[in-house]
Structure 1
Amino acid sequence: MITINKKLRLRLLIQNGLFVLLLLLLVGLLGYLGRENSIQWDISQNGRNTLNQASVEVLQNMDGPVTVTVYATAQDARLGDIRKIISDFLALYQRIKPDFTLTFIDPTEHPKITQEAGIKVNGEMIVTFNGRSKHLTIVNEQVFTNLLIRLVRSGEKLVMDLSGHGERRLDGRANHDLGEFGKQLSMIGFKTSALNLAIAQDVPVNTSVLIIASPQVDLLKGEVDKILAYVARGGNLLWLIDQESLRGLQPLADKLGLTLTPGIVVDPQAQQLKAPITFALGANYGQHPVTRNFNSITVFPFARQISLNESKEWNSVSLVEVAQNGWVETGKLGSNVTFDKTHEVAGPVSIAAALSRTLQDREQHVAIIGSGHFLANSYIGNGSNLGFGINLINWLVDDENLITIQPRATLDSNLTMSKSALAIIATGFLIVLPLFFVVCGVAVWWRRKRK
């Protein structure tokens, strides 16, 4: 038998005291770590509760605070608690950017301030960054991040598309036009305009990018000279080339060291995916800012090979290689096309290239794509054609760190329930179900007692 004397009692007291003290320190340390380090897991099927990596990169590139002022009442007749909807959405951005602040103003309590701010819709937001502000009425990651891109983009970027020769138009609605692409460019802060060099004296000096998209008739020599002068002084260029002839632009091809191989790229892999064999699938990309972190499939209908000669003047990179098991078909396309190794070029085939050079202390960028169809209204929704096209423009204007956000499919959705439904569920789980188990337990006990 152990006798507890004063000495042993003191030792036990010290041990217990140290144990309690260490336990409290451990709890405090865990609490501190929990407050300083937030770890979250998004288990929704399409990452709906976290920002797209592209949005994260845009926030990380924003040097300075972002302020969002929301003009919203406590309750909206159609959306309910609109403040909570907006607050929960913007919390995704606040987790990434600590200096992202959110302020709510009730239009009914501050009508004068609301009127002076030009607010027209309940829930309208004013987003401010670096002294610039823009209004927004849509709660959507793609739209909101594109608005941030417009705020970040320094100055106005003018994208001009050559016109007057049957080219694909940035404002056109026909299937072969680039209207949807032009619309997306406008959404992320670019200004688009057509350029007819038969009328204009020259390519405007404030042009950020000139797009030549598959002219259908020959350009006049004077027009070609204006384009050559634009390139010579450091202008950025996106040239979309289809199967037709160069329409008088051979001098431009010579200037860039471009060699065009006749024929259409045939990709058997596309046929295996139930697509036409003339749809070249892009999945193998070169190392370049345009394709940085770009791993999506692109589709280039009726593509042609793009070859660049070695040049001391230009640095060139092949952007996209297609048809690993295909070839460049120079004969007639039929149901049973076969590769002729004596006359045709075997895959992989380069169909897009980027050129750059330093001119007058600035970087000049040129992109050449062997398919104007890939940005056409009919095909821009295939694969990640739109994202690739936006990346091209961003690189051409030297804003490759700004990328576009494509909408993610909503594979799962929120379950929104009324207060009465929540009350019924809470009553069932917190009162009815426990009471049921108690009654069952009492019944079992009573039955056993009677035995």
Structure 2
Amino acid sequence: MKTFKFSKKYTKYLLLVGLFLLFMGLSAMAVIGNWEPISLGLIITGIVLIGIWLILQGGNDLTSPTQAFWGKRSTQAGTNAAFAMLAFVVILGLINFLGTRYDYRLDLTENNLFTLSPASQQLVRNLNKPLKVWIFDRIQYPQDKELLENYRRQGGNFNFEYVDPNTNPGLAKKFGAQELGEVYLEFGDRRKFLQKVRETEPLSEQTISDAIQQFTSDRTAKAYFLQGHGERSLETTEGGLSEAAQTLKDKSFQVEPLKLAETKEIPKDANLVVIAAPQQALFEEEVTAIKEYQKRGGNLLITVDQKSDIKGLEPILQDWGIGIDDRIVVNASEFQVRGLGPTAVLVSSYGNHPITQDFQNRYSFYPSARAIDVVKVIENVKTTPLLLTSEQTWAESNPDQIEFNAESDRQGPLILGIALTRPIETTTPQASPTPNQENKSDKQTQETRMVVLGNTDFATNGLFSQQINGDVFVNSISWLSQQDDRLLSISPKEQKNRRINMTVLQASLLAWLSIIIVPFLGLVTAGFLWWRRR
């Protein structure tokens, strides 16, 4: 009898250990996803211990222990508690199982800081074979890993891996990695250096998506830059466009100079032509060739500066109803770009257009810009302003003496950039005409596009990478290429400042309310209720 009492004293621990093992087994099964020996062994052991505990709850009547046990009120209450605990364990196991099988994330940040842009998501989903990002570093920065995890969630063909070059020197040599932090992209048998990451220079969505697009795109757009009239060159000199040209090449564009006076016509493979601030007038034959190119659906980007020969461009601009003001736009606000003076116009207001759709409330600036005007409404020509100055700007007729003169100057807001489209009708012959179709054609409606910007300096070396100047230029080129599946520039997302700025008086009042007044009112209310119920 003493032995039985001793055993009964410790039987309650059998229940606790059994439930614990059962919970651990179910959790392990939910995480692993199948019946592994470890999880199955824990579940069976837990069930056996619970069964032994039930058998030992028989009371003093050893001839009918089960009947004595189940007849107790405490047993019924304990059984209800056991079933409730078992149900809790099962529900918890199911939640863990579903959580490992179906990954769902909800980004509640205002600017969707932790969500990829729709273009990047579609880019990863369209991958037709595995693509992998290799990061040769010992440190896994959280912001980089979170971004790469976001990419991996979009499709099974995207993956990434961190590699320590010291423990795996062979793989580092295979990619040519020489320093910690180097990131490479591998797609099939092709490899590409992406960037070098540091804590202060993390991976960006734009960099990764541009590289993926360059690897996977089977089409390249060709941009020709007109030369021979003092236009900005593609060289690395001051005032050149080498930074812009390199960025376009990184986005799978082909960039080449064009001496139209020698070729006599624009090449057939040209997706667009850029005329960047010519200092002398174009030849009449060149103007004719450009007009013919636009009639065929060709696209054109024209940028001017303070010394540009506008008269040489007028025959082209007049066909679209566009004029360029001779005066220089002046920025009269207190906030000016350091080192550039009042002639560098800040722009933070943009038109509703694919080129500028993500630019609102972000700055770009344009030194010595000229205003763009719609001087004549042309049928079927659609115009959309891109760059809008503030009311604190004006077009100055005398840059040597900056002072607003109502008689000779023009008050802002002004337009510094405009996008234009015009439909064209092309006819393409049928692939296999029948006798009844020999004289018929398949008519397709397309459009020719043009962008006119009243400044060129913003895209030159040194200024191209400032603020979103480069985005304005690259997005204009991308839109003009008419490859609608080509990614436009993806600007980095910024977290808005939501801090509450309070005066000393407001902070003191808040402290009194939260620490003294509100608790005192609660204490008084509680005392009053106690007094009434007494």
- State the TM-score bracket (shorter-chain normalisation): 0.7 to 0.9
Alignment of 1:48-447 (within 5 A): 53=116, 57-62=119-124, 63-65=126-128, 67-69=130-132, 79=137, 90-102=148-160, 120-121=176-177, 125=184, 127-128=186-187, 133-136=190-193, 138-139=195-196, 140-141=203-204, 142-169=206-233, 171-243=234-306, 244-269=308-333, 271=335, 276-295=341-360, 296-308=362-374, 309-334=376-401, 337-340=403-406, 342-359=407-424, 360=426, 361-399=445-483, 402-405=487-490
Q: What is the CA–CA distance in structure 2 between the aligned matches of 1:246 and 1:338, rounded to whole Å? A: 24
Checking the alignment, whether the CA contact within 8 Å between 2:264 and 2:286 is kept in structure 1 is no
SS of the residue 1:185 aligns to: helix
Going from structure 1 to structure 2, the CA distance change for 1:184 and 1:109 (only over 3 Å counts) comes to closer
Shift of 1:211: 0.2
Checking the alignment, whether the CA contact within 8 Å between 1:219 and 1:247 is kept in structure 2 is no
1:12 aligns to 2:77 (yes or no): yes
State the structure with more CA Rg.
2
Q: Residue by residue, what CA displacement relative to the aligned partner does 1:409-437 show, whole Å, maximum 9, x if unpaired?
A: 9xxxxxxxxxxxxxxxxxxxxxxxxxxxx
Going from structure 1 to structure 2, the CA distance change for 1:241 and 1:406 (only over 3 Å counts) comes to same
Q: What is the CA–CA distance in structure 2 between the aligned matches of 1:368 and 1:137, rounded to whole Å? A: 33
Shift of 1:125: 4.3
Q: Which residue does 1:421 correspond to in 2?
A: none
SS of the residue 2:415 aligns to: strand
Checking the alignment, whether the CA contact within 8 Å between 2:346 and 2:366 is kept in structure 1 is yes
AA in 2 matched with 1:159: A
Count residues in correspondence: 388
Shift of 1:191: 0.9
Segment drifting more, 25-34 vs 286-295: 25-34
Q: Residue by residue, what CA displacement relative to the aligned partner does 1:10-59 show, whole Å, maximum 9, x if unpaired?
A: 5314421331133113322442454334559999xx99xx76855x6323
Q: What is the CA–CA distance in structure 2 between the aligned matches of 1:385 and 1:270, rounded to whole Å? A: 21
Q: Which residue does 1:444 correspond to in 2?
A: none
The structure with the greater share of residues assigned to helix is 2
SS of the residue 2:90 aligns to: helix
AA in 2 matched with 1:210: V
Checking the alignment, whether the CA contact within 8 Å between 2:223 and 2:272 is kept in structure 1 is yes
Checking the alignment, whether the CA contact within 8 Å between 1:121 and 1:137 is kept in structure 2 is no
Q: What is the CA–CA distance in structure 2 between the aligned matches of 1:322 and 1:85, rounded to whole Å? A: 36
Q: Residue by residue, what CA displacement relative to the aligned partner does 1:64-101 show, whole Å, maximum 9, x if unpaired?
A: 345235789xxx7xx5589x999887444213444313
Checking the alignment, whether the CA contact within 8 Å between 1:71 and 1:114 is kept in structure 2 is no
Going from structure 1 to structure 2, the CA distance change for 1:379 and 1:120 (only over 3 Å counts) comes to closer
Segments of 5+ residues of structure 2 without an aligned counterpart are 1-68, 197-202, 427-444, 495-534
Quick one: percent identity of the two aligned structures? Answer: 23
Checking the alignment, whether the CA contact within 8 Å between 1:313 and 1:357 is kept in structure 2 is yes
Going from structure 1 to structure 2, the CA distance change for 1:258 and 1:120 (only over 3 Å counts) comes to same
AA in 1 matched with 2:449: H
Shift of 1:208: 1.1
AA in 1 matched with 2:385: S
Segment drifting more, 95-104 vs 395-404: 95-104
Q: TM-score, normalised by structure 2?
A: 0.63
Q: Between the two structures, name the one with larger relative contact order (CA 8 Å, sep ≥ 6).
A: 1
Q: Residue by residue, what CA displacement relative to the aligned partner does 1:370-429 show, whole Å, maximum 9, x if unpaired?
A: 1111111142233210011111111111245502356899xxxxxxxxxxxxxxxxxxxx
